[in-house]
Amino acid sequence: VVLGANIGTTVTAQLIAFKITKLALPAIGVGVFLRLFTKKKKYNYYGEVLIGFGLLFLGLATMKDGFAPLRSSEEFRNAFILFSSTPILAVAAGAILTMIVQSSSATIGITIALASTGLIDFYGASALVLGENIGTTLTANIAAIGTNSAARRAALGHMIFNVIGVVYMLILLKPFVGFIDSITPGNANMVNAVGQNPYIARHIANLHTMFNII
């Protein structure tokens, strides 16, 4: 179940990479209508799902716009250059951020927003994603405190499994990043004239999916 859950969390990253931000407001509108004006519980739940996805994509678009001016900050750029040159630091940052936010999908969305504005390259973003896979297990272990022994063992096993996977992947990070770049269309580190990276979202989503499948 835990292994399947790991793969399942990658679906959100793939959806984010499709760049369907223009559908965010319509999704929220339809969701609100289903939530408020339908009597069947089933349609209420559909409405809540649409509202959630709409707010997610709207929030990511807002973050992307907010991050754009930070490209002119030398201190901010240097911090992310450090992530690319020191992957273990990026892994730690990704783990801590996910533990604070308590959602790996949200932090991967933040990573995609940062990378899409050219603030971090594919290599540095990849290390952040690996850390986010550890951070989500730390949250699960905190949630398991006070539960039965089976739940605590499952949470601990999840953390150990992901930590081993991240350590293994850190050793092979450069060839793994190169492999993802070779199977994903577009140049992962190309920044266009307006400072946007049009291809990196799909690269990050594919790396996240492939890591959890492997």
Its pTM stands at: 0.81
The three-state DSSP-derived secondary structure of the chain is: CHHHHHHHCHHHHHHHHCCCHHHHHHHHHHHHHHHHHCCCHHHHHHHHHHHHHHHHHHHHHHHHHHHHHHHHCHHHHHHHHHHHHCHHHHHHHHHHHHHHHCCHHHHHHHHHHHHHCCCCCHHHHHHHHHHHHHHHHHHHHHHCCCCCHHHHHHHHHHHHHHHHHHHHHHHCHHHHHHHHHHHCCCCCCCCCCCCCCCCHHHHHHHHHHHHHHC
HSE at residue 13, side-chain half, CA atoms within 13 A, is 29
* Nearest C-alpha neighbor of 127 from the set 84, 175, 81: 84
- φ/ψ (deg, to 5) at 102: 65, 30
Q: Residues 132-144: what's their mean pLDDT? A: 84
Q: In the chain, how long is the greatest CA-to-CA distance?
A: 55
Residue 164 has pLDDT above 90, yes or no: yes
**pLDDT tens-place string over residues 103-114:** 788 888 889 888
Name the residue with higher pLDDT: 179 or 14.
Answer: 179
Give dist(CA 171, CA 177) in Å, integer: 11
Q: What is the mean pLDDT of the chain?
A: 86
Long-range contacts made by residues 191-195, C-beta under 8 angstroms, separation at least 24? 191/118, 195/68, 195/71, 195/117, 195/118
Taking the CB of residue 65, how many other CB atoms lie within 10 A of it? Answer: 11
**pLDDT tens-place string over residues 36-83:** 998 889 999 999 999 988 888 888 778 777 776 776 777 777 777 787
The reported pLDDT for the residue numbered 171 is: 93
The reported pLDDT for the residue numbered 175 is: 95
The reported pLDDT for the residue numbered 44 is: 93
Residue 182 has pLDDT above 90, yes or no: yes
